[in-house]
Amino acid sequence: MSNLEVRKFDWDFEGIPFIWNPEQPRFSVLMNQITFVIISFERYITKAMREAEARITDDEVKLEARLFGQQEGVHAAAHTKHARALIAQYPGLQTILDKCQESYDAQFEAESLEYHLAYAGSMEAIFTPFFKMVLDHREILFEGGDERLSSMLLWHFCEEIEHRSSALMVYDDVVGSYWYRFRNAGPMRKHVRALFEMSIEEFKKHVPDVPHDVYEGNPFASVPRPATLRSAVGVLASQAPWHDPAHQPLPDYYDEWIGKYTGGEDVMRLYGQPAMTAGAAAAASAVGDAR
């Protein structure tokens, strides 16, 4: 039986500032990029999982695909609320959602189910070492941020750890060829990279009250370098034929988050600072700059 649980929360990001963590402005931008790109990415994966069900031969894998797709759909809905809150302040940002959706729709039409499952398997394999680094350094990256988005992102990233093996399980059942996935890994990464680059350019156009230098530099400059190097090595290793996400080092915070959730804590206000408004966040950032 699958150990995946579909958890739904009523997130509300009304008035959330674009720089939702004044202590980490570049990281704030990266998480905003993830919000705008991930909506279409996860809808794409959900659609691929539904189409794959008819070709899955193992009942347990079929259940895994169904629950995995449901989790991804819930994640897309949460990020849509965040995106809508930002679009309410900066209407031009709708362009990013439209371009991402057009890109993933075109890819779904142009490529085979095998390609879609390879795309999901390759991308999801990267997430375990990447999100482990993020969760291991949550105090640095999230503590100073708006508790609504900090808590939503921590929930999402913990569930990415939870379903870390799901996409490859489905790929191996339906396709099973490592070399097909490896052969297409380059174009897949190029596709994602282009969407993230596009989102930065759209931010620059449509968010006039954020200086352009905020979009430059390393989002993880505050994270100890050994941790970022381990994450980078893990990302590279995740594409190897012998890689199994089930056997990868996991963040301790995953078990901690699950314990808080099952214990009845309010995981929607679990981490960060009391809900901010755009004006308050700007003032906090100005105070930080003055120091």
- Give the pLDDT mean for 92-114: 98
What is the band of 127 on the pLDDT scale with cuts at 50, 70, 90? very high
Cα 76 to Cα 202: distance, rounded to the nearest angstrom: 20
Residue 2 pLDDT > 70, yes or no? no
- pLDDT, position 277: 78
**SS3 of 35, please?**
helix
**SS3 of 273, please?**
strand
Residue 288 pLDDT > 50, yes or no? no
User: Distance of CA 16 to CAs 27, 86, 124, 161, 224, Å?
Assistant: 15, 7, 28, 26, 28
Residue 291 pLDDT > 50, yes or no? no
- Give the pLDDT mean for 150-172: 96
- Give the pLDDT mean for 132-141: 97
- pLDDT, position 247: 77
The rounded mean pLDDT for the chain is 92
DSSP secondary structure string for all residues of 173-225: HHT--HHHHHHHHHHHHHHHHHHHHHHHHHHHHH-TTS-GGGGSS-TTTTS-H
Residue 273 pairs in a beta bridge with 146
Task: Name the residue type at position 2.
Answer: S
* Residue 128 contacts residue 164 (beta carbons within 8 Å): yes
Q: What percent of the chain has pLDDT over 90?
A: 86
- pLDDT, position 287: 38
Residue 48 pLDDT > 90, yes or no? yes
Cα 174 to Cα 54: distance, rounded to the nearest angstrom: 10
What is the band of 280 on the pLDDT scale with cuts at 50, 70, 90? low
Phi and psi based region of residue 176 (left: phi greater than 0; alpha: psi -120 to 50; beta: remaining):
left
Cα 40 to Cα 210: distance, rounded to the nearest angstrom: 25
What is the band of 130 on the pLDDT scale with cuts at 50, 70, 90? very high
- pLDDT, position 238: 83
Cα 21 to Cα 279: distance, rounded to the nearest angstrom: 13
- pLDDT, position 3: 84
- pLDDT, position 240: 79
Nearest one of 127, 288, 129 to 214, comparing CA atoms:
288
- Give the pLDDT mean for 153-160: 97
Residue 281 pLDDT > 80, yes or no? no
